[in-house]
Structure 1
Amino acid sequence: MQVTNQMGDQHEVPTEEGVGNGKKYLLPFILITSLFFLWGMAHGLDGILIPHLKKACQLNNRQSTLIDTSIFFAYFIMAIPAGMIIKKIGYKNSIITGLLVFASGAFLFVPAANSTNFELFLFALFVIGCGLTILETSANPYAAILGPAKSSSNRLNLAASFNGLAVTIAPYLGGVFILSGINYTPEQMAAMPDATKAAYFLEEASAVKLPYIILGSILVLVAIVFYFMHLPSMVSKETENEVKPGFFSVLKFSHLSWAVVAQFFYVGAQVCVTSFFIRIAQKEAGLDEKTAAFYLTAYGFLFMAGRFSGTLFLKFIKDYILLSVYCVISVLLCLVAIYGSGIYIIYALGGIGFFMSIMFPTIFSLGLVGLKSNTETGSSWLVMSIVGGAILPYGMGTLIDMKHDDIQAGYIIPLVCFLVILFFGLVGHKVKTVES
């Protein structure tokens, strides 16, 4: 159904079944799906950046996790402003804004690399995180509502599958264009002349420039495409006059509150697994840097396969049931990563990638069930909870340093995370009526 606003413009009115059905929504859905791919590229490169900048900027484990902290802390800072931006300028203009902010952060990698300034790298990543926050706050609920409400989990998982595709491609490209494969021992570094050492660090840091220039340019082009495309509005007569609770009052929806907690721990778990993937592959499985990046690419492929297969499984299995089963399997695989040895540790981490693939979009869609006009506020909370990716990896890096570089011990953190998500899948997702 369409209505006409005071400006005389027609826009789509969503019903309980969603914004609409049919082929006319195929192109908007494809465009929204492209955003999932693009922010997947940003996050997929983090697993390459952490060991690379650790080497180029001479960092310890805890310092290297500040890469995660910078990008994911932006989610916490920007989640509320992102929701306000959406209400002020609409979903389409918010998406364009997010793309341009994202691109600005990518271009900042050039001066950061030229100066080998780790703090400037962190600022660039924070800017990227701000752009991603606006994009995710816009795109996740938009993808969920762009069709029948009963299939929102399926639709969100399908869009998120292309995020998984990016997670597969990004480590491969990072391994080819960023990682040099050159590693010196502390003794070799100590014996190296200062000029040679400075040249080596500059060359390593400069390897990130071309990939991020290309990424930033693509983001600008996509923003231009969105500018000229029509997207259905998410405005409804049924909800526009509905009394909305305040930002904190919306947490009276207990399933949303538990979804925020579960999302915090899920993102923390995902980032923990990938942040130390290359290091544990080198240290425990005896792989070189390039080969470890190849296995990280394989991890991304399994993550993508999990997203696509999960979308299929959700047609036959209740979303909360599938989420719970995958959590149990992920806990068991974490135990293998902690107590196993050799290449089996890497196989276990790859399995975790497959089974945690559906968790983010499933938690997101379960948290938004029945929120109606409070969807934007609920989405802001769910995006803000992504700050788990800033906090938990830092804790994992600290634990590894305390354990004298025992990376396996650090994987107790994602194990605990999956137990929390399991509780959400079994109990916390249940919707309870909220009295006005």
Structure 2
Amino acid sequence: MEHISGLGVAQRGDTQGGSNTAPLMIVTLLFFLWGLLTSLNDVLIPHLKAVYSLNYVQAMLVQFCFFGAYFIVSLPAGMLIKRLGYQNGAVAGLVIAAMGCALFYPASTGGYGMFLFAFFVLAAGITVLQVAANPYVTVLGDPATASSRLSLTQAFNSLGTAIAPTLGGLLILSGGVLTEVQFAQLPSVEQVAYQAQQAGSVRGPYLALCAALLMLAVLFALVRLPKIAYADTAAQDEAPGAPLKASLFSYRHLVLGAIGIFVYVGAEVSIGSFLINFLGEADVAGLAPSAAAHYVSYYWGGAMAGRFIGFAVMRYISPGKTLAFNAAVSIALILLAILSKGHVAMWAIIAVGVFNSVMFPTIFSMALNGLGRFTGQGSGVLCMAIVGGAIVPFVQGYVADVAGLYTSFLVPAVCYCYIVYFGVKYAAMYRNAPAA
């Protein structure tokens, strides 16, 4: 899932001589890795739920800690980048993320609470990375082709989210997990040993990711990158034709857009988090976790494919209408999954990924439209709204525990209802806006 950071506005500074190919490859690899790390949560959640006999609310604490870091760390990350510079800030983010991956080793014997702490540290590093790395995409080459480079890096981010569930299924879920009844029948000593053995299956993959992140930190520290100056957003001029306003929150479409980012990220993450459990239901597909993980890759891969379709469609149809249509179809697919069974239910919920594809960048760009000198601050507000990925899965987990797994999918459906409203509202605002 692509996340666009912007706690400050980056400006191109003096560039170093030589080709930008190697630096661009390193930055693109960063996008790939944080997509992979984020999507691996969808594999870890059902695994830890089974290992520690958690209810859905307890299992969703993974996403609560992971995406809660975006809310807590975003502003400090901006200050850190301002102090260290973008290149050193990216190195710091890589090191922090590597520390988070390394913490999965002691977590395998330290219990579920230690896992949650590791997720928070890992996400804190990713947050710093996003604030630091995004600006480099725009300066590593001709400014006229900056958007194409951003599309390339975001495509690799989506590739990471698409392959992570399958990879995690092979490396983490392939050993199989006892049911709650089978686990309860074990003697207490064997229960402890079993939990340690199952929790230990995450060590290898996350230690390998730790090594990869540290290697990238070294490469990023040594590579010659353009200098990027941190611009004070208060010094920017208003966009031509934009109305002058005294407060950031005077822009109603920004406020509505922040809510839109909150519910969209929450819905997207929530569906991915529950997908393996949903596909494991006997009247849906009855898949083992390792087999269901492959289909989670289809969910995220659909978002990657849908992005290219959306790019073509929005050349002819307004962003607001496209957004409202995609959200409405997502609601219909979720209701179909809830009310049906078998392969119809399975493919309906997986297909939501295709219609998620354009939502984040579309909401983000619509919310920032016409902010002028408040653009950087507005971007920071939208990035903090990513905390929806922490809250909405938690709410769905509570509903799943109280009313059942099927019914719980009404939570993301309600989120998409708001996105329909925002898309329609934006389209109306766009029609009524004065010409620049």
**TM-score band, normalised by shorter chain:** 0.7 to 0.9
Q: 2: CA distance between counterparts of 1:354 and 1:399?
A: 25
Q: Which residue of 2 is the match for residue 201 of structure 1?
A: 195
Q: Which residue of 2 is the match for residue 385 of structure 1?
A: 385
Equivalent position SS for 2:357: coil
- Answering whether residue 91 of structure 2 is matched by residue 96 of structure 1, we say yes
- Answering whether residue 399 of structure 2 is matched by residue 399 of structure 1, we say yes
CA shift digits 1:91-119 (9 cap, x unpaired): 2222222111111101100000133x110
Q: Which stretch of structure 1 is more off in the superposition, 128-137 or 388-397?
A: 128-137
Q: 2: CA distance between counterparts of 1:132 and 1:293?
A: 23
Distance 1:255 1:28, change over 3 A: farther
Q: CA deviation at 1:324?
A: 2.7
Q: CA deviation at 1:42?
A: 1.2
Q: CA deviation at 1:121?
A: 0.4
Distance 1:421 1:399, change over 3 A: same
Q: CA deviation at 1:151?
A: 8.7
Residue pair 2:12, 2:139 contacting (<8 A) in 1 also: no
Q: CA deviation at 1:323?
A: 2.5
Equivalent position SS for 2:280: helix
Distance 1:86 1:98, change over 3 A: same
Distance 1:187 1:55, change over 3 A: closer
Q: CA deviation at 1:27?
A: 5.7
TM-score, normalised on structure 2?
Answer: 0.84
Aligned partner of 1:325: which letter? F
Q: CA deviation at 1:385?
A: 0.7
Q: Which residue of 1 is the match for residue 420 of structure 2?
A: 422
Equivalent position SS for 1:58: coil
CA shift digits 1:141-191 (9 cap, x unpaired): 665787899998776554322222111111111101101352333332232
Q: 2: CA distance between counterparts of 1:350 and 1:420?
A: 21
Q: Which residue of 2 is the match for residue 213 of structure 1?
A: 207
Q: CA deviation at 1:374?
A: 4.1
Q: 2:167 aligns with which of 170, 173, 177?
A: 173
Q: 1: CA distance between counterparts of 2:219 and 2:47?
A: 33
Distance 1:68 1:144, change over 3 A: farther
Aligned partner of 1:187: which letter? V
Q: CA deviation at 1:397?
A: 0.4
- Answering whether residue 334 of structure 2 is matched by residue 339 of structure 1, we say no
Aligned partner of 2:399: which letter? L
Q: 2: CA distance between counterparts of 1:171 and 1:158?
A: 21
- Answering whether residue 220 of structure 2 is matched by residue 222 of structure 1, we say no
Q: Which stretch of structure 1 is more off in the superposition, 297-306 or 341-350?
A: 297-306
Residue pair 2:366, 2:426 contacting (<8 A) in 1 also: no
Aligned partner of 1:118: which letter? Y
Residue pair 1:164, 1:304 contacting (<8 A) in 2 also: yes
Equivalent position SS for 2:40: helix
Q: CA deviation at 1:388?
A: 0.5
Equivalent position SS for 1:276: helix
Aligned partner of 1:280: which letter? F
TM-score, normalised on structure 1?
Answer: 0.84
Q: 2: CA distance between counterparts of 1:321 and 1:148?
A: 32
Q: 1:67 aligns with which of 30, 42, 62?
A: 62
Q: Which residue of 1 is the match for residue 48 of structure 2?
A: 53
Q: CA deviation at 1:321?
A: 3.7
Q: 2:72 aligns with which of 77, 92, 96?
A: 77
Q: CA deviation at 1:332?
A: 1.3
Aligned partner of 2:413: which letter? L
Q: Which residue of 1 is the match for residue 350 of structure 2?
A: 350
